[in-house]
Amino acid sequence: MINTIGKSAKGHPIKLYSYGQANAPQVLLYGLPDPGEAVGASGLLGLLRALKDPHHLIHQMNVRWNFIPCLNIDDQPNDGLTLELVQKEQHQEVDWMIEQPRPETSALLNLNDLLNPVFTFPMHDEFHCEEVLPCYFPVSHELPDHICQEISTIIKHYGLDISPDIADAKMGQGFLDMFAINDIHKSTFAQFAKKGLVFICEVPRKEESHHKNLMATQLACAFLLINAIQLES
């Protein structure tokens, strides 16, 4: 099912794709939150293909998938026709504007109230920016040891590095308690965290790593966490 959940300032529809039983736990993933952040959106295309295949193992996950392939259409370079390195500006960060919401921000906040997602994955990445930052993971709730270790294993499996500069005292290297970030209350993340787990997997531009590894890394982390939430409930 595809619904339009808002319109950008330039009049582009913001589309939400939903699959699965309506009464299953809701999960929300959204791509291209900032300019040029195409890793998540590309992964969502893979997710869409999997969901369209009736024999795919993904159907064993009892959740209702909700995803927005492109949240911030207005700020994509060259109207989204090409992919280029861009340095985003503050007024383009729709996730951080709940005090002066852009239409994209309002669409997310309304969706949060409507769905009450048990898991939200804002698909930010560091691929678009000109600096090379190793992987790091802002997260809304403390994750158990074995999950943190499995996430580290996924990152290494795909040939990526974990940030040596970011470390949570309990969760370890690469993990970052979202609520330690300045002004987090101005973000949509703080609102999503009231409903469920929020996890971000920032992946870098790394010339020697195939782009597919970046998408696979984000999706593998999402599947791991969704399965963990389901086992808990």
Q: What residue ranges bind Zn ion (CB under 5 A)? A: 34, 124
Minimal distance in Å, beta carbon 199 to Zn ion? 14
Minimal distance in Å, beta carbon 124 to Zn ion? 3
Side chain identity, residue 41:
A
Minimal distance in Å, beta carbon 33 to Zn ion? 5
Minimal distance in Å, beta carbon 148 to Zn ion? 22
Alpha-carbon span 67 to 15, nearest angstrom: 8
Minimal distance in Å, beta carbon 120 to Zn ion? 14
Q: Which of 125/168 has CB closer to Zn ion?
A: 125
Q: 20 CB contacts (<8 Å, ≥6 apart)? A: 62, 63, 64, 65
Alpha-carbon span 116 to 127, nearest angstrom: 29
Tokens encoding 98: 């709940």
What sign results for the dihedral spanned by CA atoms 93, 148, 170, 172?
negative
Q: Which of 147/200 has CB closer to Zn ion?
A: 200
Q: Which of 63/73 has CB closer to Zn ion?
A: 73
Q: Which of 79/89 has CB closer to Zn ion?
A: 89
Side chain identity, residue 99:
E
Q: Which of 155/200 has CB closer to Zn ion?
A: 200
CA distances from 133 to 123, 166, 206, 218 (A): 16, 11, 9, 15
